[in-house]
Amino acid sequence: MTSAPPLTKPVDVADPRAQAAVRIDGIDKVFPLGRGKDLRALGTVDLEVAEGEFVAIIGPSGCGKSTVLRMMAGLETPSSGSVEIFGDDPHRLAKQHRLGVAFQEHALLPWASVRGNIALPFKVAGRPLDAERVDGLIDLVGLSGFEKARPKQLSGGMRQRASIARALALSPDLLLLDEPFGALDAVTRRRMNAELARIWAEERITTVLVTHDVDEALILADRVVVMTGRPGQVRTIRDVDFPRPRGADVTRSPEFHDLVDELTALLVEAE
């Protein structure tokens, strides 16, 4: 694997001249459960993500991580507060195919090939197929030689790579990943983490990743958002300053382990 060049710091969102990629302002979410009962999924959440930044969200099960991500994807609307993506409404950006989304269930078309699946967004968006882009993505996610394979002929890790390639197909402005590697074994998961880190270093797309895996968050992110239990709120946001690429020298360091312990303790506390 080629090592990525050292990365510059993301833009400072506190700088009013810098445009935030994601600006979440005081959102909460109440789901009606029928018979006059409600479920309060989120407390008040504020979060900004700078352009080019990689942010990971961790938190106990059911705390509203997917709900927050779905709001960024324009798939869910906050009960109050606002979500802006590059200063715009997420629904509108979703319609313009400027958001790339990959969730735990890979949702590839079973009857289509790897190439067909990765090319699908062009068809959905009614755009002419950019075959060069599709080939480049197949290469980027390491699926060269498997272009004609159907999803069921691929391993779980390969299917996730195809999903991520598909999410990247139209060069989205924002990549939203919800537990994309949740179903993979630990070794494959670490390999996928390294690949996603490499892809991010090459494409530099603003990325928000929801994960249960503290190591994964620390291997990939510039900042880790720790949420409290339901109704989910931001418990703390931790900067992650380890140099990239974050190989074994980083993950075996005492500093890395200290941060894993610190965030794990916060998660246990948040349950």
Ligand X SMILES: Nc1ncnc2c1ncn2[C@@H]1O[C@H](COP(=O)(O)OP(=O)(O)OP(=O)(O)O)[C@@H](O)[C@H]1O
Question: Which residues of this chain interact with ligand X, rule CB under 6 A?
Answer: 31, 39, 41, 59, 61-67, 230
What 3-state class would DSSP assign to 30?
strand
The size of the chain, in residues, is 271
For the CB of residue 176, give the shortest distance to ligand X in the complex, in Å.
13
Q: Out of 22, 42, 49, 66, point to the residue binding Mg ion (CB under 5 A).
A: 66
For the CB of residue 60, give the shortest distance to ligand X in the complex, in Å.
7
DSSP classification of residue 107: -
Indicate whether 163 belongs to the interface with Mg ion (CB under 5 A).
no
Q: Of the listed pieces 65-73, 145-153, 157-165, 222-230, which binds Mg ion according to CB under 5 A? A: 65-73
The DSSP line for 155-207 is -HHHHHHHHHHHHHTT--SEEEEESTTTTS-HHHHHHHHHHHHHHHHHH--EE
**Residue nearer to Mg ion on the CB measure, 66 or 163:** 66
**Residue nearer to Mg ion on the CB measure, 41 or 165:** 41
**Residue nearer to ligand X on the CB measure, 103 or 122:** 103
For the CB of residue 91, give the shortest distance to ligand X in the complex, in Å.
17
**Residue nearer to ligand X on the CB measure, 59 or 172:** 59
Site of tokens 């059911």: 62
Work out what residue 117 binds among Mg ion, ligand X, none; the CB cut-off runs from 5 to 8 Å by kind.
Answer: none
Work out what residue 61 binds among ligand X, Mg ion, none; the CB cut-off runs from 5 to 8 Å by kind.
Answer: ligand X
For the CB of residue 252, give the shortest distance to ligand X in the complex, in Å.
28
